[in-house]
Amino acid sequence: MKRRLFCAVLAILLIVPVHAEPIRWVDFQVPLESMKYAMDQDISSMDGEKHISWIDILSVAACRTGGKCGLDSVKKAAKQLQEDQAPEELLGELAKFYDYYHQAYDAALGGLLGSYAIEVEGQWKPTYGLKAYSPIAAGYGYSHCDDFGVGRSFGFARKHLGNDLMGGLGTPIVAVESGVVEAMGWNRYGGWRIGIRSGNSRRYYYYAHLQKDHPFADGLEVGDLVQAGDVIGFMGRTGYSDKENVNNIETVHLHFGMELVFDESQKECNSEIWIDVYNIMRLLSGHRSSVQRNGDGSWTRVYPYRDLDLEELSG
């Protein structure tokens, strides 16, 4: 079943329109409080007379602030959009920047809100809201700081292109968003790692330094479709080695990264677009997947989940 659904999703992704000049860089600077406010406006307006997308709100605010998106500018944009004013009318000369910010924010955030259903006591309960999860399963402690861009030296001098979440060895790691497992195995920098592509192909999620000897969820394979919140692996400290299954990282942690892909030629090149996900991780910190270990050693989620947007896309 997973294979058939994957093929259907892949066929749709191959039809994604190609822009003549895809975006080459995104400097994602949206503060947590601005992101949360825009998200709350989106969710609360879903069943009202006018639904306001948080992508629209943030895009208008970004045009006015050069991408800084301070809370006051976000509140102003939300109020004006609620009054049924079009972005072009609100922005005037600044409207020329709107398409860029809208594409950029839709790529970074577009799949985090949407329609999903959770099964509780045998009943599927559909809802609209935050459908992405923290990569750290519920009940497991962790810490992190904004370390995007910090220097790294193994192999060659470079910048850190993710967010390190420090926790305990073996902590269950879950899929942030539903998508297809695109890469899996050993990487000299990331150790045991998993790469998952979002349903609309715009986001590539990278989970690295997974646990030695048992890095991945049982049965997980490249090409599998995973739901947001499914266990995909376990926290460790592998990596920094050409030899597989080596713990050369000093501190147990998950390296989590998000690459934006506007054109497939950008996926693996010298100008990949990785964004600072620190505030996205903070936004998701209150939305964590409850998981449990079964008698046979496998892991499952406590509440079965269905991404209704992904089902609509594939069928």
Tens of pLDDT, residues 256-280: 999 999 999 888 888 899 999 999 9
Residue indicated by tokens 């910010």: 101
Interval 47-95: pLDDT, tens: 988 999 999 999 999 999 999 999 999 999 999 999 988 898 999 999 9
- pLDDT band of residue 210 (cuts 50, 70, 90) is very high
Asked if residues 228 and 212 have their Cβ atoms less than 8 Å apart, the reply is no
Q: How far is CA 236 from CA 174, 215, 293, in A?
A: 14, 8, 18
Phi, psi angle pair for 197, to nearest 5°: -100, 135
pLDDT at 222 over 80: yes
- pLDDT band of residue 145 (cuts 50, 70, 90) is very high
For residue 17, the 8-state DSSP code is P
Q: What is the 3-state secondary structure (H, E, C) of 276-303?
A: CCHHHHHHHCCCCCCEEECCCCCEEECC
Please compute Rg for the chain using Cα positions: 20
SS3 231: strand
Of residues 255, 257, 209, 207, the one with CA closest to residue 236: 209
Of residues 286, 288, 251, 294, the one with CA closest to residue 175: 288
pLDDT at 225 over 80: yes
Q: CATH 2.70.70.10 residue ranges in the chain?
A: 131-314
- pLDDT band of residue 313 (cuts 50, 70, 90) is low
What percent of the chain is predicted at pLDDT more than 70?
Answer: 91
131-314 under CATH 2.70.70.10, yes or no: yes
